[in-house]
Chain A
Amino acid sequence: MKKKLLLSIVALATIFLAGCSKKDDLSANLVGLGGDTWTKGPIDEWISTNYTTPYNIEVKYKWDRSELGEIYKNVVPVKEELVVPIMDIIKKTWIDPYVAVKGANFMKTYTQKQFYLAGSPSYNSNGTITLGTAEAGRKIVLLDLNTFNPANKPAVKQILHTMHHEFGHILNQNIAVTPDYQRITPSDYTATWFNIFRGAYSSTAALDKILYENDFWGKGFVTPYSRSNKDDDFVETLSTLLEGGAANFDNIINNLFVYDGLYIKRNGKGVYEQNTDARSKLLRKKAIVISYMKDSWGIDLADLQTRTQAAIEAQSPTADFNSLLGPGKTYGTITVNPQKLTGLSAKFLTAYNTANTTLQAGNPQTNKGYYIDNISLIFTAANKVTLRVNFMDPTAALGVGFNGDFDYNINNVNGTITMTYANPQPTTVTYGNARVIETYIPTLLAYFNNQQFSIRWVDDIVPQSKSIFGGLVKTTDPTSYLFGTL
C-alpha cells in the first residue's frame, strides 16, 4: 500500500514537472523603459560634458514631481536659463575644490548620483522654507533656485551652503563623526529650532538681535538650524566653515560675550565678560570637524576652505574696498573694537591702549575714569573722515557713553589718503566731548594725524575676511594697520 502511494506520488510529480516545462518568452519589449525622453538641447549637452561624463552625476532640471521629497507641496520648476550658471558655479566651488584636495576619484565615489533642481522653495506648515534635501547619499534636491544671480554673493553662498551641508551629510553617513560631537551641546537640540528668527524676541530691534544671536551662537551653535539635531549641527558647522570662510567663523566666536540687557557686561575698566562657555563649545565643534575631515577622509580642512573661498571669490568677485566706502556707498563706517577683533597690528594697539590707560588715569574730577569702548572711522562726508571715540563713564549705568568726534581732512587718490587734523573743529556736542578727552589720548590722535593710509580689504592679514573687515594700512609701514567691522 505504501509503495503504491509512493509510486503515485512519483508519477504525479513527473506530470507536474513535465507539464510545467513550457518556457515563457522573456524577450518582451518593454515600452516606455529607459525613463523620460525629450529632444536634447544645449543644456543637456552641457550637463553631459560637465557632470554626467566625468562624475556620473545626473542633473535633472525638467519637472518631475516624484523627485521631490514632499510631493504634496506647491513647487515650481527651475528657469532653464539658470541651469548652466547654477551648475557651473556649484562645480567650481564645490566639486573642483574637493577634486583639487582629494582627486577626482573621491568625488566620483562619494558624490550623490543625482541633482534635482527646482525653482521655488518648498513651504512648510511651520512657516519655514526648505531649500534643499539630501537622500541617503544618492540625491540632492536644490530648491529656490529661480532667485539665483551670480552677482548676489549672499544668494550664491546660500546655495553653496546647501551643497556643502548636504554633501556633509553624505560624508557623515559613510563615516560617522565621533559621538563626542553630540556631547558638546547635548541638551540644546530642539525640534522647534525654527522659532529662532529675528523679531521673535523683542520689539526693540537691538535687544532682539542680541537675544536672537544668544539663542544659537550664545549656546554654541553656528546657525539656528544647527540646533535641530546632532547631524545637522555637524554638517552646519562644516558647511559654515567652508562656505563662510575662516574669518567669518572666528568673527562669530570673537563676538560672544555675556550681556546685561542691551549691553555687554564689563568691569570698571571696560573689560568685557566673554561667553567662554559658548566660545569653547564652538571651538570644540570646529576642532572635531577638522580632525574628522583629516582622520576619516584625509582632507586638510584649511586647504579645502582656502580653495572653496578662492573659488567663490573668483565666481562672484568682491569690488575693492575703496570703491565701496564713502558717502552714499555700500559702507560708510569702520568700527574698531579691539575686544571684538583679533589680528590688529601691535603698533595700532599700542597707540589705542596707551590712550585708553591715560584717559582712565586722567583727571578724576572732570572725567571720572572714562574708558574707551571703541572707535570708528566715519566716511560719510566727501573729503573728510571723522574719528569717533566712543567712551564710557564707569560710575554711571551701563550704556552711558559719549561720542567724541575728531575731523580729519582727506583727499582720496585711488584709495590712498592722508589724514590732516581739521582746524578749526566744529563745535557741536560730539566735538565738545572731544575737547574733554583730547589731552589724554594724544597717542591715538597721533596715530592718524598727518599719516598716509591705504584703504583696502585686509584679507592678506586676516584671510577670507573680505566684506567682513575693511581696513587702513600705513603706506610707509605695512606692519602698522587697523581694521574693523563694516
Chain B
Amino acid sequence: MMKKNLLYILLLSLAFGSCKKDPTEPLIGNTDERLSATLAEYQAQLVGAQFGWKGYLLTDNETPATFLFNFNDKNRITMAADYRTTSAESSYRLKALQKPTLLFDSYSTLHLIADPTSSVFGGTTAAGYYSDFEFAFLSSSTDTIKLEGTFNKSKLILIRSKSAAESDAIFTVLNNVATTASKIRTYFKRTTIGGIECEVKWDPAAQILAFSYLDNGNLKTVTSHYYVSGTFVTLYEPLVIGTTTVKQISDVVYDAAALAVSGNINGSAIQIKEAITPLKLDMGAAQRWYNQMFANSNGTWVSDKAFHANGVDDFCNFKNVVGYQTLWYAGPTVFGGTSEGLIAFVNNALGAPYTLSRNPFGINSGIARFTLGTNVGTFTGTTAIAQAMTAARAILYGGATVGSAQDWYLIPTSDTGKNYDMVRVSDAQAWISWRPR
C-alpha cells in the first residue's frame, strides 16, 4: 500500500511538473536574429571603408598575395591584386554557414589562384594554389578583420585603408620592402631581439622571414610568412624568440650610414646588419654536400640562377646565354676519371668552356676550398658563354690561373639534405643555390 501511495505521489508530481511552461526568454536574444544582425554589421563594416580594404592572403600552399578590395552595398566588389593589378568587378555576399562567412560568389581575380585548371593561372592541377574564396570571420576590430578559408584554410587579413594614397601604394610597398631587404649585401644577416642575437633569413620573393638563434648551443629557427602594409612588415604567425613575441616589424627602412635595415619590434628599435659568418657553422655540411653530389642524378649539383655577387642576381650574366638552363658542379659521371668541375648546361647539352677543380677536394674546419686545376676551352672572346663562364670561374676559384683557390661555406637549406646555399667565406657577398638535377 505504501508503495502504491508513493507511486501516486510520483505520478502526481510528474503530472504537474511536466506541464510547467518556462516563460523565460533567452537572455541573449534569438540566435537567428543575432546571426543576421552580425552579418549585417559585417557587411556595413566592409561597405563602410571609404578607401577600401587591403587584403593579405596566404594560401594553404603558402603562396602570398596582396589585394585591394572595395565593397559596395549592392553585393558588388571591385578588386585588384599584386598578380593582376587591373581592377575588376565581381560579386560578394555574407552568409551564415557554420560561421559568418564572406563569399566571393562570382569569378574574380581572387579565383584565379584557386582555379583548379592549371592552364588558367598556374598552380597544380585539381588544386591551383590551394586558395579559397569562402572565408569565415575569425575576429574583427574596426580596422582589422581576420578570416580563414573554409575549404583550404587560407589565411586572409583585411586592413582598412586610411587614404587614397595608401590604397594606391598597396602593391608598390611590397616591392619597396623587397628593395630594402636586397640592400643588405651579405648572405648572412644579424639582429638582436630582446637581447638574443639572431641570424636573419629574408626571402622577399616568397615573403618569408626566418630567425635563428642559439638555444643551449643549438641553433633554433623560427619562420613565418609576412605581408607588407606601408612600412610595416607583419608576420602571419607570431614568432617567439626567447621571451619576445614578434608579430610585426614596423618602420622598416634602409639606413645607408649603418649599412643596415632598421625597424622596430614591440617598441624597441632593431637593426638587421650585415654579417660575414654564420651564427653557427654546420661543421659537417661541406662534406655532406660533397658526398651528396655523387648520389645525385648525373652525379651533379645544378643551380638555376647561378651566382649572386655584389648585390646582383646572376652576376655572371648567364641570362645572356641563349638557351641557358642551369650551371652544374659535377663529378666523374660528367667529366670521367676522378675529375670534377664547373660547366654550363645550355640547350640540353653541356658545353665548353669549362673548368676542372684540383683533386682531392679540400675541406678544412667545415669550409670547402675550390682550387682551379684545368681550364678547358676558350674563355677569351665576346661570346656570351665565354664571358659568363669567365666570370663564374673568377667567383668560384677567386682567379683565372691554375692554382687559384677560394673558400666557401655550405649552408643546408632543406631538411632532406638535398638543397644547399654556398657562400663565399671572405665577405659573404657572393652565393649560389645548389639542388640535385
Q: Looking at the complex, which of B120-128, B196-204, B324-332 is the stretch in contact with chain A? A: B120-128
Contact between chains at B105 and A22 (CB < 8 Å): no
Which residues of B lie under 8 Å from residue A22 when comparing CB positions?
19, 21
Asked if A273 is at the interface (CB within 8 A of a chain B CB), the reply is no
Contact between chains at A39 and B114 (CB < 8 Å): no
Q: Specify which of B30, B33, B115 is in contact with A120 (CB 8 Å cutoff).
A: B115
A178–B129 Cα gap in the complex (Å)? 48
A212–B18 Cα gap in the complex (Å)? 73
Q: Specify which of A31, A73, A76, A79 is in contact with B35 (CB 8 Å cutoff).
A: A31
Interface residues on A, range: 20 to 34
Contact between chains at B106 and A62 (CB < 8 Å): yes
Which residues of A lie under 8 Å from residue B93 when comparing CB positions?
36, 38, 62
Residues A74 and B19 in contact in the complex (CB < 8 Å), given A31-B32, A31-B33, A63-B105: no
Q: How far is the CB of B102 from chain A (nearest CB, A)?
A: 11
Residue of A nearest to B131 (CB): A74
Which residues of A lie under 8 Å from residue B75 when comparing CB positions?
38-39
Contact between chains at B127 and A74 (CB < 8 Å): yes
Residue of A nearest to B33 (CB): A31
Contact between chains at A63 and B16 (CB < 8 Å): no
Asked if B12 is at the interface (CB within 8 A of a chain A CB), the reply is yes
A8–B15 Cα gap in the complex (Å)? 12
Contact between chains at A80 and B12 (CB < 8 Å): no
Contact between chains at B133 and A76 (CB < 8 Å): yes
Contact between chains at A79 and B107 (CB < 8 Å): yes
Q: 1/0 contact trace for A53-94 toward B, CB 8 Å?
A: 000000001111100000001111111100000000000000
Asked if A20 is at the interface (CB within 8 A of a chain B CB), the reply is yes
Q: Specify which of A12, A65, A75, A79 is in contact with B12 (CB 8 Å cutoff).
A: A12
Residues A80 and B90 in contact in the complex (CB < 8 Å), given A20-B19, A74-B128: yes
Chain A, range 10-43, C-beta contacts under 8 Å to B: 12, 15-16, 19-20, 22, 30-32, 36, 38-39
Asked if B45 is at the interface (CB within 8 A of a chain A CB), the reply is no
Residues A19 and B107 in contact in the complex (CB < 8 Å), given A36-B93, A62-B91: no
Residue of A nearest to B21 (CB): A22
Asked if A146 is at the interface (CB within 8 A of a chain B CB), the reply is yes
Residue of A nearest to B127 (CB): A74
A113–B224 Cα gap in the complex (Å)? 49
Contact between chains at A63 and B106 (CB < 8 Å): yes
Q: How far is the CB of B61 from chain A (nearest CB, A)?
A: 12
Residue of A nearest to B96 (CB): A32
Q: 1/0 contact trace for B127-138 toward A, CB 8 Å?
A: 110100110000
Q: Specify which of A12, A38, A75, A78 is in contact with B11 (CB 8 Å cutoff).
A: A12
- Which of B11, B117, B133, B152 neighbours the largest number of chain A CB atoms within 10 Å of its CB? B117
**Total A-B residue contacts, Cβ distance less than 8 Å:** 98
Q: Specify which of A8, A64, A76, A123 is in contact with B114 (CB 8 Å cutoff).
A: A76
Asked if A369 is at the interface (CB within 8 A of a chain B CB), the reply is no
Asked if B74 is at the interface (CB within 8 A of a chain A CB), the reply is yes
Asked if A121 is at the interface (CB within 8 A of a chain B CB), the reply is yes
Main secondary structure of the interface of A (DSSP, over half): loop
Asked if B188 is at the interface (CB within 8 A of a chain A CB), the reply is no
Asked if B116 is at the interface (CB within 8 A of a chain A CB), the reply is yes
Which residues of A lie under 8 Å from residue B116 when comparing CB positions?
73-76, 120-121, 123
Task: State how many residues of chain B have any CB contact under 8 Å with chain A.
Answer: 42
Q: 1/0 contact trace for B103-119 toward A, CB 8 Å?
A: 11111000100111100
Asked if A132 is at the interface (CB within 8 A of a chain B CB), the reply is no
Asked if A245 is at the interface (CB within 8 A of a chain B CB), the reply is no
A120–B105 Cα gap in the complex (Å)? 14
Chain A, range 130-182, C-beta contacts under 8 Å to B: 146
A123–B128 Cα gap in the complex (Å)? 11
Asked if B95 is at the interface (CB within 8 A of a chain A CB), the reply is yes
Q: How far is the CB of A80 from chain B (nearest CB, A)?
A: 5
Residue of B nearest to A123 (CB): B126
Q: 1/0 contact trace for B31-44 toward A, CB 8 Å?
A: 01101100000000
Which residues of B lie under 8 Å from residue A77 when comparing CB positions?
105-107, 111, 133
Residue of B nearest to A119 (CB): B107
Which residues of B lie under 8 Å from residue A119 when comparing CB positions?
107, 111, 115
Residue of B nearest to A20 (CB): B19
Q: Specify which of A15, A36, A65 is in contact with B151 (CB 8 Å cutoff).
A: A65
Which residues of B lie under 8 Å from residue A65 when comparing CB positions?
134, 151
Contact between chains at A19 and B19 (CB < 8 Å): yes
Which residues of A lie under 8 Å from residue B11 when comparing CB positions?
12
Residue of B nearest to A19 (CB): B19
A324–B33 Cα gap in the complex (Å)? 64
Which residues of B lie under 8 Å from residue A39 when comparing CB positions?
73-76
Q: 1/0 contact trace for B291-331 toward A, CB 8 Å?
A: 00000000000000000000000000000000000000000
Which residues of B lie under 8 Å from residue A64 when comparing CB positions?
105
Q: How far is the CB of B381 from chain A (nearest CB, A)?
A: 43
Q: How far is the CB of A120 from chain B (nearest CB, A)?
A: 5
- Which of A65, A77, A121 neighbours the largest number of chain B CB atoms within 10 Å of its CB? A77
Q: How far is the CB of B220 from chain A (nearest CB, A)?
A: 36
Which residues of A lie under 8 Å from residue B130 when comparing CB positions?
74
Residue of B nearest to A79 (CB): B107
List 26 A-B residue pairs with CB atoms under 8 Å apart, sorted by A's residue number.
Answer: A8-B8, A12-B12, A15-B12, A15-B16, A16-B15, A20-B18, A20-B19, A30-B32, A31-B32, A32-B32, A32-B35, A32-B36, A38-B75, A38-B105, A39-B76, A62-B105, A64-B105, A65-B151, A73-B116, A73-B126, A74-B114, A77-B111, A78-B107, A79-B107, A80-B107, A146-B117
Q: Which B residues contact A (CB, under 8 angstroms)?
A: 8, 11-12, 15-16, 18-19, 21, 30, 32-33, 35-36, 73-76, 90-91, 93, 95-96, 103-107, 111, 114-117, 120, 125-128, 130, 133-134, 151-152
Known: A36-B93, A63-B105, A74-B127. 5 other contacts (CB 8 A): A19-B18, A62-B91, A74-B151, A76-B115, A120-B117
Nearest 9 A/B pairs, CB to CB:
A19-B19, A123-B126, A31-B32, A63-B105, A74-B116, A38-B75, A39-B74, A62-B105, A79-B107
